Structure 1
Amino acid sequence: MRVMAQVAMVMNLDKCIGCHTCSVTCKQTWTNRGGVEYAWFNNVETKPGVGYPRRYEDQERWKGGWALDRRGRLVLRSGGRFARLLSLFSNPDLPSLEDYYEPVTYDYDNLLSAPAGQDMPVARPRSVLTGEPTAITWGANWEDGLGGAPEHAGADPNLSGEWAEKVRFEFEQTFLFHLPRLCEHCLNPACVSACPSGAMYKRVEDGIVLVDQDRCRGWRMCVTACPYKKVYVNHATGKAEKCTFCFPRVEAGQPTVCSETCVGRLRYLGLLLYDADRVGEAAATPDERDLLDTQRGVFLDPEDPGVRAAARESGVPEDWLEAARRSPVYDLAVRYGVALPLHPEYRTLPMVWYVPPLSPVLDAVGAAGGDQDDPDHVFAAVTRLRIPLEYLAELFAAGDTDVVGGVLMKLTALRSYMRERSLGGDGDETALRAVGLTPGEARDLHRLLAVAKYADRYVVPAAHKEDAAALDAVENRCPVGSPPSPAGPRGVALGMPTVRRRAPETPAGGRP
């Protein structure tokens, strides 16, 4: 057993209000310079929807993540070394600029310099890449609040199978929830394996995945290999950039910027101990629906004396062991099992997990003519919620509705129990026993999900001073690029653009 530590995150989707504060603060901290105007290390998507970049979840098209070959071995969907070598200078499996959006600025000078006239002057949009006038037709949050649902949401790759016919994008039938996304800092990152120059690396001390800007040659294989499409190309420097998990803050024992500024207090940060020797075996699990259990099996119990002894032998500091013991991420993902990974079928073993949203279950009970105090009626209503179980299962459980249904039933039982206690009752423990919770565990879980304080949500151990020299040697490899000095249109530093533009489509039998 080789014990390693990983900083991980859980997000409670019931609390996300889609305010995009996390996206804005991340943008201002990490991507507020030339070359990454289109890059959102953290973005909030409305589901159902095609996401950002468009249809990034369609791995038949983009070839992201891992798959099993005929011998049951893990292979990159984007191909082996020889296949990547052949596409080194012309990679067909890259999102085009139109799949993101063309970054724009505005001609604000026109507001001041326009001559007097009858019409009000306006600041017209101009492309940051070319400086020419352009039209805004897409963006990172174009579908916010289902704004573009009638035209776009039906193309969501998760809406597949016969069950998708029940989803109707009509005023009284539609549903939505917000899904914040950032780099998953996976245990088995495909981007690291696909990088020809070795620029992508996973830090040994805390598992954060970074890009060495000095080694990066802009081959863009990492963009293809990442199934979440959270690696971006800086079109000014020609190099890859991605979410850094705010490692300078984490090293100081502080939460990430997106977590610190989250209005809904839906994010949890903590440390997980895992057996590095079992990662490959877990990722190669034959049945996709078993990947969740096998990944949880990789995580180690921080209370186990044997695990703690092995961790000490591996060099994990004592205060990190204590942080792992108090980790809210371990509680939500493993101990209580209410947090689930995003698309486990990609086999990257993601380390940003989600508590799935619970629709108003008591309304569903009443609509079906059931008794809200009867656990059987309440549990039965979980299968008839406004957000289809099948859709949530496609996102968080490789299509296994039993997994998602079990989590929602546990959350439903917890709500019913705490609701009765808040109204002065003792709480009916029947529903709790049915989902495997004791009253004490229910109160602890409720405290963590509903009213956890700052110190309980963010348990981030600081880096050790005695490791400063080693960290400095590694972090001299700058993970964030700087644009070159020559300025492009509108005063933005530009290099050779490496974000492809899609060629105009040619109608059948005609010219473009």
Structure 2
Amino acid sequence: MRIRAQVAMVMNLDKCIGCHTCSVTCKQTWTNREGTEYVWFNNVETKPGIGYPKHYEDQDRWHGGWKLDRKGRLVLRSGGRGKRLSRIFANPDLPSIDDYYEPATFDKDILVSAPGGLKDTPVKRPHSALTGEPMAVTWGANWEDSLGGQSGQDDPNLARMATKVKLEFEKTFMFHLPRICEHCLNPACVSACPSGAMYKREEDGIVLVDQDRCRGWRMCVSACPYKKVYVNHATGKAEKCTFCFPRIEAGQPTICSETCVGRLRYLGIVLYDEDAVLAAASVEDEKDLLEAQRAAFVDPYDPAVGEAGLPAEWIAAAQASPVWKLISEYRIALPLHPEYRTMPMVWYVPPLSPVLDATGAAGRDDTDADDIFHTIRDLRIPVEYLAELFTAGDVPVVTGVLMKLAAMRSYMRARTLDGTVAQELLDSIGMTAGQVEAMYRLLAIAKYDERYVVPAAHAKDAAALEAQAATHGDCPVGGSDEDFRRADGRRGLHLNPLRSRS
């Protein structure tokens, strides 16, 4: 057993209001430079919808992630080394600018410099940020936000569902899905990179791009099933979400977490057995991937953890980690598309709100657990849709999570109003009163230091990192990281045991 630490995130989708503050602050911090106009390390999608870039979840088209070959071995969907090298100069599995959007800028000066007395009010027209030519804005990273799920008929998740779904306007539903790089335990982008520029940091699992080694082959873009690797068209280098590693190293949460208006993000450490990753990603049935990944995680209270050589501060942070609690203790957080076999480490608490809306629409009481339970059992949408997103189509798992959330709401309501303990609710979900109350506190009223448990061991590096920045200037996005490797001697190329076979 080789125990590793992974910085991970959980997002509670019931608390996302779609304000896009996380997207804007991430954009201003990391991608406000030439060549990154279309790049959104963090974006908030409206589901159902086709996402950003368009149809990124359609792996029959993009060939992202992993699959099992005829012998049950794990291989990249984009092909082995030989196949990738044969088309290294002409990769067909790349989204075009139309799949993203052509970034626009506006001539704002016309509003203040137009002469007086004009018959018509001056208008700032959009111009392409790439060519400078006038253009019409027809798509964007958050375009579906105003469509209320009405583009859902083209959603790849609906196409995969066993029951054909007809989205009628009066019956439509929607929720917001914030997305960043998943910083996977088994990252396809790392294995697909011909130059070895993509790497997974050994100390905290963050996946980065060495800008000095990147040659712009773009195989990482094709291999990432979440399409969270971008190419800076000015430099020709790959860039991606860095999990704000300079902030993490200074003991601070990511910028998207820090500025989240809904307080829906949780940040912490998860310990896992590196030797168990290959077996967990290679289970035959896609519906078993969730439990296989959970089984690869290590209980931070396990005596074996103390013998793994991890710093005491890391072990303490893992034991206090809200991410570990939501994923493995309360078991209400789920990974995004586990069927991609990358073992993602950004997980989600599925939204209960569409179920509550359906409960009220059916004339039932959305504060009564029994009525909510009946609605969850009867409702094929969005429960089946949520299963396509988070459990490879395993509906009972999502149903169980929603029932836990509904039971928590009803239990806390009764306890607050008249002090009663609804033991039958606790029995129905297999949790104790203490567990439900602790889960409620974490989901609803957790304080800053409960939501973000960043290892204190990183804080000691802050001074050294600031000195490096003063000496070498700002590190580029996803930067070379070479200076940082020299600074503390702990960083290096993470040798991924899951390199694809040619």
Is 2:154 the counterpart of 1:155?
A: yes
CA contact (8 A) 2:249 2:462 kept: no
Are 1:288 and 2:289 an aligned pair? Answer: no
Distance in structure 1 (CA, Å) of the matches to 2:191 and 2:466: 22
Contact 2:270–2:324 (8 Å) recurs in 1: yes
Deviations 1:168-191 (A, max 9, x none): 240x21100000000000000000
**Cα distance in 2 for residues equivalent to 1:125 and 1:326:** 49
Q: 1:371 to 1:216 in 2, by over 3 A?
A: closer
1:221 aligned to which of 219, 222, 228: 219
Q: Secondary structure at the match of 1:120?
A: coil
**Any conservation in 2 of the 1:239–1:481 contact (CA below 8 Å)?**
no
CA contact (8 A) 2:355 2:382 kept: no
Q: 1:5–1:206: 8 Å Cα contact kept in structure 2?
A: yes
Q: 1:13 aligns to what?
A: 13
**How many angstroms does 1:373 deviate by?**
8.7
Distance across 2 between alignment mates of 1:396 and 1:205: 27
Q: 1:369 to 1:54 in 2, by over 3 A?
A: closer
**Partner of residue 192, structure 2:** 194
Q: Is the 8 A contact 1:244 1:479 kept in 2?
A: no
Which residue of the partner structure matches residue 438 of structure 1? 432
Report the residue type matching 1:131 in the other structure.
G
Matches within 5 A, 1:78-477: 78-114=78-114, 117-147=118-148, 149-150=149-150, 152-161=151-160, 165-170=164-169, 172-309=170-307, 311-312=308-309, 316-359=310-353, 364=358, 377-385=371-379, 387-462=381-456, 463=458, 465=460
1:35 to 1:433, Cα distance in 2 relative to 1, 3 A: same
Superposed CA deviations along residues 428-456 of structure 1, whole A, max 9, x for unmatched, are 11121121100010100000001100010
- Root-mean-square deviation (CA), in Å? 2.5
Structure 2: which amino acid aligns with 1:22?
Answer: C
Q: Which amino acid counterpart does residue 346 of structure 2 have in structure 1?
A: V
Distance 1:100 1:20 in 2: 17
Deviation at 1:72, TM superposition (A): 0.5
AA in 2 matched with 1:228: Y
Distance (whole Å) between structure 1 residues aligned to residue 465 and residue 113 of structure 2: 55
In the alignment, residue 95 of structure 2 is paired with which amino acid?
A: P
8 Å CA contact retained: 2:192, 2:220: yes
Specify the SS of the correspondent of 1:123: coil
1:129 Cα deviation after fit:
1.1
Q: 1:142 & 1:435 partners in 2: Cα distance?
A: 39
Distance 2:110 2:358 in 1: 55
Aligned to 1:40: 40
In 2, Cα distance between equivalents of 1:269 and 1:112: 45
Alpha-carbon contact 1:361-1:412 (below 8 Å) kept: no
Q: CA deviation at 1:472?
A: 10
From the superposition, tell whether residues 230 and 365 of structure 1 become closer, same or farther in structure 2 (CA, over 3 Å).
Answer: closer
After superposition, the Cα gap between the structure-2 partners of 1:164 and 1:140, relative to the gap in structure 1 and judged at 3 Å, is: farther
Output the CA distance in 2 between the equivalents of 1:306 and 1:129. Answer: 54
TM-fit CA distance, 1:366: 6.3
SS at match of 1:255: coil
CA contact (8 A) 1:211 1:479 kept: no
Q: What residue in structure 2 maps to residue 480 of structure 1?
A: 477
Cα–Cα, structure 1 residues 110 and 331, in superposed 2: closer, same or farther, change >3 Å?
same
- The 1:286/1:468 distance shift into structure 2, 3 A limit, reads farther
Quick one: distance in 2 between partners of 1:453 and 1:214?
Answer: 40
Opposite residue 273 of structure 1, the aligned amino acid is L
Say if 1:252 and 1:121 are closer, same or farther in 2 by CA, change over 3 A. same
Q: Is the 8 A contact 1:375 1:430 kept in 2?
A: no
Find the aligned partners of 1:222 and 1:162 in 2 and give their Cα distance.
Answer: 29
Q: Which amino acid aligns with 1:409?
A: M
The structure 1 segments of at least 4 consecutive aligned residues displaced by more than 6 Å after TM superposition are 369-374, 466-473
Q: Following TM superposition, by how much is the alpha carbon of 1:166 offset from its aligned partner in structure 2, in angstroms? A: 3.7
The answer to whether the 8 A contact 1:212-1:479 is kept is: no
| TM-aligned CA distance change 1:33 to 1:479, over 3 Å | closer
d(CA) in 2 for partners of 1:126 and 1:338? Answer: 45
TM-score, structure 2 as length reference: 0.89
CA deviation map 1:303-333 (0-9, x unaligned): 1122322x22xxx110110000000000000
Counterpart contact for 1:360–1:385, Cα < 8 Å: no
SS at match of 1:248: helix
- Letter paired with 1:165: K
* In structure 2, C-alpha distance between the alignment counterparts of 1:178 and 1:104, rounded to whole Å: 24
AA in 2 matched with 1:72: G
Corresponding residue SS for 1:383: helix
Cα distance in 2 for residues equivalent to 1:471 and 1:191: 30
Deviations 1:176-233, CA, capped at 9 Å, x for gaps: 0000000000000000000000000000010000000000000000000000000000
Query: In terms of mean alpha carbon deviation, does 273-282 or 464-473 score higher?
Result: 464-473
Structure 2: segments with no counterpart, 5+ residues? 480-502
Q: Any idea what the Cα deviations from partners look like across 1:126-179, whole Å, max 9, x if unmatched?
A: 1111111111111001100425x44x3211000125655344240x21100000
Instruction: Give distance in 2, aligned partners of 1:355 and 1:448.
Output: 12
Counterpart residue number, 1:4:
4
Q: Hey, what does 1:73 align to over in structure 2? A: 73
Query: Quick check: 2:305–2:315 contact (8 Å CA) kept in 1?
Result: no
**Percent identical:** 69
SS of the residue 1:207 aligns to: coil
In structure 2, the residue corresponding to 1:321 is in which secondary structure? helix
Distance 2:203 2:10 in 1: 20
CA distance in 2, matches of 1:471, 1:284: 42
C-alpha distance in 1, partners of 2:8/2:161? 35
Structure 2 CA distance, aligned partners of 1:366 and 1:127?
46
SS class of match (2:324):
helix
What code does the residue aligned with 1:439 have? Answer: A
Q: CA separation in 2, counterparts of 1:35 and 1:7?
A: 29
Q: Report the 3-state secondary structure (helix = DSSP H, G, I; strand = E; otherwise coil) of the residue aligned with 1:158.
A: helix
Q: Which residue number corresponds to residue 496 of structure 2? A: none
Count of equivalent residues: 474
- Shift of the 467–264 alpha-carbon distance from structure 1 to 2, 3 Å rule, reads closer
Q: TM-score, normalised by structure 1?
A: 0.88
Letter in 1 for 2:58: D
**Change beyond 3 A, Cα 1:161–1:120:** same
* Counterpart secondary structure, 2:239: strand
The residue that corresponds to 1:504 in the other structure is none
CA distance in 2: counterparts of 1:189 and 1:16, whole angstroms: 27
Aligned partners of 2:250 and 2:461 also within 8 Å: no
Q: More deviation in 126-135 or 6-15? A: 126-135
